[in-house]
Chain A
Amino acid sequence: MTERQRNLRLYVPVYAISLVIYLAACFVEPTFFTWNNNVNLFTRVTPLVLVGIAQTYVILTGGIDLSIGATVGLATVIAASLPFVDTPSNVLLWLLIPPSIGLAVGLLNGLVITRGGFPPLIVTLATGAVWKGVSLFILAEPGGSVSSGVATFVTGTLFGFLPVPLVVLLLSVLVFHLILKRTAFGRSIYAIGGNERVAYESGIPCDRVKVWVYGLSGLIGGLVGMFLSARMSSGDPLVGEPYILNSIAVTVIAGTSLAGGRGGIIGIIGGAYIFDLLNNILNLLAISTFYQYVAKGLVLIIALAITSGGAELRPGRLLRKGRRKELQEENG
């Protein structure tokens, strides 16, 4: 399979499924197709896409970041605790501090994981608990406030018609896609996830790359926290919780293998739309949240069954006759 074919096999199903769900939504509720509703969708989908990008980078190296939810929460709490009178310096503080803290949190994860050689899952689980505690310490309950200028900017439009969230969404996917595919850093990420030993032997500074990947994940977590704090005009220590597992689900739906080394971020917008639209339709149909859990589980399973690309961790792959033959040939 060429790279191009593989990409098509990864991305076409994701976008096909999200399109089907989107059309179904328009069918169920005609007002769904209005510009206003779509702007709402961008606003809701953007944080999910961003955390999905962060998670994809980490998962591509063969790691996982369970602390991203706590990082998002910490960033909103800090953003909402900053002075909120609209002066240029305050806006600058708001723009700088939450992302920097996110970056610091992420780098720390990366350092602990690489210096210690600990499993990322348990390290980020632990650091996530720590930062959640710190957020709860700063702000025990949702509250605080964010300067109104900032809030209106983030939820507003550029040049009068381009919604800011949409710009953020498209720009970030483009930039992070190019970093992944066109830079040495991006190549190293794939190499490390594919086979860290080989990557190391070929001279890739594995530890340094991994530290920066976790740093990037934290930075994006900080940016998402900043964005959410502006949208809610407040901070909430627990606002990031759903993003922990949703970011992983979106990453996997978008075709990235949890074993690392395979996948990309082009499919993430589709994945995020599948997630969000599903809730949206079920809400429009006034279906109880009880059934929404069931629907979410079933759709996730169906979407994954369709998009699953084939990773080492999937024993069933070995069952198929063709594959078994391949193996026998490989092993002589």
Chain B
Amino acid sequence: MDSVTLTAPVRRLKGFLSRNAVVLLLFLIVLAMSGFGAMVSKGFLSLDHVGAILRTASFLGIVAIGQTLIILTGGIDLSVGPIITMGNVFVCMFMNGVDANNPWSFAAILLLGLAFGAANGLGVTYLRISPLVMTLAVGSLVTGITLIFSHGAPKGLASPLLREIGVGNLLGSVPIIVVIWAACSAAVILLLATTTFGRNLYYVGANLRAASLSGVRIPLVTVTAYALSGAAAVLAGTLMAGYTRTAFLGIGREYTMWSIAAVVIGGTSLTGGKGGYAGSIAGTIVLVLMQSILTVMNMPEAGRRIAEGLIILVMITVYFRKPRRR
């Protein structure tokens, strides 16, 4: 079809569709999966269950914020799992079930997340260690610190306020956590689209050399991205503490790989510089829906793993196209 003959609105629509093809396709997949879920189980699309799915998705979605920022710079963050667990365990210890401890607990946990995230970034920029192993090492460090301070048996409770945030609803049926996720999402999408920092993230990921030569302060951008990822991870850990009330040492384990999967399924390129958070939202929802469907179907562990793997494979075949050599 000759694009010149198209009228302006059609062309604009076509441009919009092709720019956002991945995201749109993913939301279609979400619709299809929801339909399938509704067929498998009657209450699947009830308001309560959709709320529950979105609540679960919020945790992964918030973690995926940090992962998206880092993958955009061409890095990767394998420390999110341990940092989530640290946030989860420490926030319960700090709060000890008392509302009076809230202000300093939130501040302290946020600082810890920022600090370990920044440590990742500093190692990547100044020690010149590749992100994958640097974050792996920091992850090990964080796991150790969490175990040492909790003596391997986490104590403490989420405060009533955090508990309310974790399980409460706004307007009757919208979980507060989902509102927080939505707010964070809006902030990140704006950050990426409108600020210098957001643009620099893309530049760093697309071409480090060019970015450096055109005066982008690469260490600052990189360290900030990793610090934000640390903050996002502790936020997720804290919200999980609100949801489950007590801490659990294994809580972050699956999130490292899931967050990467959510970002990649959302169309952000692992080589950096391409993508955005809107796709990660869709990727998150797809993954959580999939797990929810497998749970509703009472799939045993072995079958679940197989199904998860196959679905991710099918998903990437749907929209990844082999780059042409010429």
Docked pose: A314 CA to B270 CA in angstroms: 15
- Can you list 30 A-B pairs with a CB-CB distance of less than 8 A? A116-B322, A122-B261, A125-B261, A125-B312, A129-B305, A130-B306, A132-B305, A197-B325, A245-B78, A245-B136, A248-B136, A258-B132, A259-B130, A288-B148, A292-B144, A294-B140, A294-B141, A294-B148, A295-B144, A296-B137, A297-B139, A298-B141, A304-B137, A305-B128, A310-B128, A313-B74, A314-B128, A316-B125, A327-B213, A331-B213
- Min CB–CB distance A297 → chain B (angstroms): 3
The answer to whether A318 and B218 touch across the interface, beta carbons within 8 angstroms, is: yes
The interface bits of chain A over 290-332 (1 if a CB of B lies within 8 angstroms of the residue's CB, else 0) are 1111111110110011001011111111110000100110010
Please judge, given known A-B contacts A294-B141, A315-B125, whether A117 and B133 are in contact too, CB under 8 Å.
Answer: no
Docked pose: A133 CA to B74 CA in angstroms: 31
Considering the complex, give the chain A residue whose CB is closest to the CB of B142: A297
- Min CB–CB distance B247 → chain A (angstroms): 16
Docked pose: A328 CA to B137 CA in angstroms: 34
Q: Tell me the chain B residues, 62-76 only, with Cβ under 8 Å from chain A.
A: 74-75
- Min CB–CB distance A180 → chain B (angstroms): 20
The answer to whether A257 and B316 touch across the interface, beta carbons within 8 angstroms, is: no
Considering the complex, give the chain B residue whose CB is closest to the CB of A330: B209
Docked pose: A285 CA to B130 CA in angstroms: 31
Q: Tell me the chain B residues, 95-147 only, with Cβ under 8 Å from chain A.
A: 123-134, 136-145, 147
Docked pose: A292 CA to B208 CA in angstroms: 36
User: What residues of chain A lie closer than 8 Å to B148, measured between beta carbons?
Assistant: 288, 290-291, 294
The interface bits of chain A over 81-105 (1 if a CB of B lies within 8 angstroms of the residue's CB, else 0) are 0000000000000000000000000
Q: Is A249 an interface residue (CB 8 A)?
A: yes
Q: Is A200 an interface residue (CB 8 A)?
A: yes
Docked pose: A312 CA to B299 CA in angstroms: 44
Chain B binder among A5-13, A134-142, A167-175: A134-142
Docked pose: A318 CA to B125 CA in angstroms: 9
Docked pose: A293 CA to B147 CA in angstroms: 9
Q: Is A118 an interface residue (CB 8 A)?
A: yes
Q: Report A's interface with B, CB cutoff 8 A.
A: 112, 115-119, 121-123, 125-134, 136-137, 140, 197, 200, 245, 248-249, 252, 257-259, 288-298, 300-301, 304-305, 308, 310-319, 324, 327-328, 331
Docked pose: A291 CA to B270 CA in angstroms: 33
The answer to whether A296 and B140 touch across the interface, beta carbons within 8 angstroms, is: yes
The answer to whether A134 and B320 touch across the interface, beta carbons within 8 angstroms, is: no
Docked pose: A327 CA to B257 CA in angstroms: 36
Docked pose: A279 CA to B322 CA in angstroms: 43
User: What residues of chain A lie closer than 8 Å to B236, measured between beta carbons?
Assistant: none
- Select which of A122, A294, A304, A318 is within 8 A of B134 by beta carbon: A304
The answer to whether B125 and A313 touch across the interface, beta carbons within 8 angstroms, is: no
User: What residues of chain A lie closer than 8 Å to B309, measured between beta carbons?
Assistant: 126-133
Please judge, given known A-B contacts A122-B270, A133-B309, whether A301 and B134 are in contact too, CB under 8 Å.
Answer: yes
Q: Is B204 an interface residue (CB 8 A)?
A: yes
User: What residues of chain B lie closer than 8 Å to A129, measured between beta carbons?
Assistant: 305-306, 308-309, 312
CB-CB nearest 3 A-B residue pairs? A293-B144, A133-B305, A117-B322
Q: Is B302 an interface residue (CB 8 A)?
A: yes
User: What residues of chain B lie closer than 8 Å to A327, measured between beta carbons?
Assistant: 209, 212-213
Considering the complex, give the chain A residue whose CB is closest to the CB of B269: A119
Considering the complex, give the chain A residue whose CB is closest to the CB of B132: A258
Q: Report B's interface with A, CB cutoff 8 A.
A: 74-75, 78, 123-134, 136-145, 147-148, 152, 204, 208-209, 212-213, 218-219, 222, 257, 260-261, 264-265, 269-270, 301-310, 312-313, 316-317, 320-323, 325
- Min CB–CB distance A14 → chain B (angstroms): 14
User: What residues of chain A lie closer than 8 Å to B124, measured between beta carbons?
Assistant: 314-316
The answer to whether B127 and A316 touch across the interface, beta carbons within 8 angstroms, is: yes
User: What residues of chain A lie closer than 8 Å to B320, measured between beta carbons?
Assistant: 116-119
Docked pose: A130 CA to B257 CA in angstroms: 14
The answer to whether B130 and A257 touch across the interface, beta carbons within 8 angstroms, is: yes
- Min CB–CB distance B54 → chain A (angstroms): 24
Docked pose: A296 CA to B139 CA in angstroms: 10
Docked pose: A124 CA to B199 CA in angstroms: 31
- Min CB–CB distance B63 → chain A (angstroms): 16
Docked pose: A246 CA to B316 CA in angstroms: 27
The answer to whether B313 and A127 touch across the interface, beta carbons within 8 angstroms, is: yes
- Select which of A128, A248, A252, A300 is within 8 A of B140 by beta carbon: A300
- Min CB–CB distance A147 → chain B (angstroms): 26
User: What residues of chain B lie closer than 8 Å to A300, measured between beta carbons?
Assistant: 133, 136-137, 140
Please judge, given known A-B contacts A137-B306, A318-B218, whether A116 and B317 are in contact too, CB under 8 Å.
Answer: yes
Please judge, given known A-B contacts A126-B310, A140-B302, A291-B144, whether A315 and B137 are in contact too, CB under 8 Å.
Answer: no
> Which of the listed residues A128, A315, A316 has the most CB atoms from chain B within 10 Å of its own CB?
A315
User: What residues of chain A lie closer than 8 Å to B204, measured between beta carbons?
Assistant: 315
The answer to whether A318 and B133 touch across the interface, beta carbons within 8 angstroms, is: no
- Select which of B125, B128, B136, B145 is within 8 A of A249 by beta carbon: B136
Considering the complex, give the chain B residue whose CB is closest to the CB of A259: B130
The answer to whether B308 and A248 touch across the interface, beta carbons within 8 angstroms, is: no
Docked pose: A119 CA to B139 CA in angstroms: 24
- Min CB–CB distance B314 → chain A (angstroms): 9
User: What residues of chain B lie closer than 8 Å to A197, measured between beta carbons?
Assistant: 325
The answer to whether B302 and A126 touch across the interface, beta carbons within 8 angstroms, is: no
Docked pose: A245 CA to B28 CA in angstroms: 35
The answer to whether A297 and B140 touch across the interface, beta carbons within 8 angstroms, is: yes
Please judge, given known A-B contacts A118-B320, A319-B219, whether A301 and B306 are in contact too, CB under 8 Å.
Answer: no
The answer to whether B126 and A316 touch across the interface, beta carbons within 8 angstroms, is: yes
The answer to whether A136 and B147 touch across the interface, beta carbons within 8 angstroms, is: no
